[in-house]
Amino acid sequence: MWFLIVLLIIVLVIAFKSIKVVKQAEVYIIERLGKFHKVADAGLTIIVPFLDKVRSVVSLKQQTMDIPPQGVITKDNVTITIDTVVFYQITDPAKAVYEIQSLKKGIEYLAITTIRDIVGKMDLDQTFSSRDSINQQLRVILDEATDRWGCKIDRVEIKDINPPADIRDAMEKQMNAERNKRALILEAEAQRQSAITIAEGKKEAAILEADADREASIRRASGQAEAIKEVAEAKAREIKLVYEAIKNANPDDKLVQLKSLEALEKVADGEANKVFIPFEATSALSSLGAIKEVMKDSKK
């Protein structure tokens, strides 16, 4: 009876040692007699008790490693503190176990030295404006260095860059000065734009007023021209009617000469008017005198 119990216990121990269940996204590094034997993937795995041994359990998921804040000296001799995080994934579990003593320590030390080398070639202002460039350079260098360790660096991010307190104060003052400068520039530009707009408005108003005056002058001149034309046409019609009436009356020369003298009398009426009668008109006057005498005789 005791023998069966002992035998059952031995079987259970052997089964416990032999049967391994590997979780998803994990692998077991199996050694046989101290030498690498195989990589056990997810699922049920049978090993030989007392000969095989699980050396390490390796996760194949993407992992993150927070690099402790490091003091770095920039090119312009300013000491800043940089906080970095690294995203990596193991692609070859055997290399990750056997090629380096501690993969995380190796990545950490390599990241620290690489950050100091990259930032040491930059000015302080460049470190703030070149985060993407620093991240990319870090990722490439770390990925090349960790490839022989069976590891792939997916991403490197600088979480924070902290300059000394006096540098921060100087930077804040500089930023305030820049903001004030931009505000003054914007205000001056707004005033300039306003003055330009007002001047353009006045210019447009003056142009429109001048156009209105010109149009009014043209219309007045056109109206006056039309009036003069109508008056002239009326005079012409009047003269034409008079001419037609005289023509229809068929006057003789003496009547014409008499009417001429009557018109001449009206012209000469006035103190300031002086009329000079040409020599050719004396014949007409003599004729008129004879006519006057004849008329007197006839009245007598």
Question: What is the secondary structure of the chain as a DSSP string?
Answer: -HHHHHHHHHHHHHHHHHEEEEPTTEEEEEEETTEEEEEE-SEEEE--TTTEEEEEEEE-S-EEEEEEEEEEE-TTS-EEEEEEEEEEEES-HHHHHHS-S-HHHHHHHHHHHHHHHHHTTS-HHHHHH-HHHHHHHHHHHHHHHHGGGTEEEEEEEEEEEE--HHHHHHHHHHHHHHHHHHHHHHHHHHHHHHHHHHHHHHHHHHHHHHHHHHHHHHHHHHHHHHHHHHHHHHHHHHHHHHHHHHHHH---HHHHHHHHHHHHHHHH-SSS------TTHHHHHHHHHHHHHHHHHHH-
Q: Are residues 77 and 89 in the same domain?
A: yes
**Structural domain harbouring 284:** 252-300
Between 285 and 152, name the one with better pLDDT.
152
Per-residue pLDDT at 203: 86
Q: Are residues 112 and 39 in the same domain?
A: no
**Please, which contacts does 29-36 make with residues 24 or more away whose CB atoms are closer than 8 Å?**
29/54, 29/55, 29/56, 29/57, 29/58, 29/93, 29/94, 29/97, 30/54, 30/55, 31/55, 36/94, 36/98
Per-residue pLDDT at 27: 92
Is residue 185 one of the residues assigned to a domain?
A: yes
Between 273 and 114, name the one with better pLDDT.
114
> What is the CATH number for 128?
3.30.479.30
Is residue 170 one of the residues assigned to a domain?
A: no
Q: Range with the lowest mean pLDDT among 63-67, 150-154, 281-285?
A: 281-285
Instruction: Give the number of residues written for the chain.
Output: 300
Q: Which of 163, 184, 210 is the last residue of a domain?
A: 163
Per-residue pLDDT at 236: 73
Task: State the average pLDDT over residues 143-160.
Answer: 90
Is residue 278 one of the residues assigned to a domain?
A: yes
Is residue 168 one of the residues assigned to a domain?
A: no
Per-residue pLDDT at 271: 54
Task: State the average pLDDT over residues 90-100.
Answer: 91
Task: State the average pLDDT over residues 264-282.
Answer: 51
Is residue 169 one of the residues assigned to a domain?
A: no
* 18 confidence band (pLDDT: 50, 70, 90): confident
Number of domains in the chain: 4
The percentage of the chain sitting over the pLDDT mark of 70, rounded to a whole number, equals: 79
What's the pLDDT tens digit per position in 101-142? Answer: 889 999 999 999 999 899 888 888 888 888 888 899 999 999
Q: Are residues 49 and 92 in the same domain?
A: no
In this prediction the pTM is 0.55
pLDDT at 62 over 80: yes
Per-residue pLDDT at 263: 55
* 268 confidence band (pLDDT: 50, 70, 90): low
pLDDT at 90 over 90: yes
Is residue 281 one of the residues assigned to a domain?
A: yes
Is residue 140 one of the residues assigned to a domain?
A: yes
Between 262 and 232, name the one with better pLDDT.
232
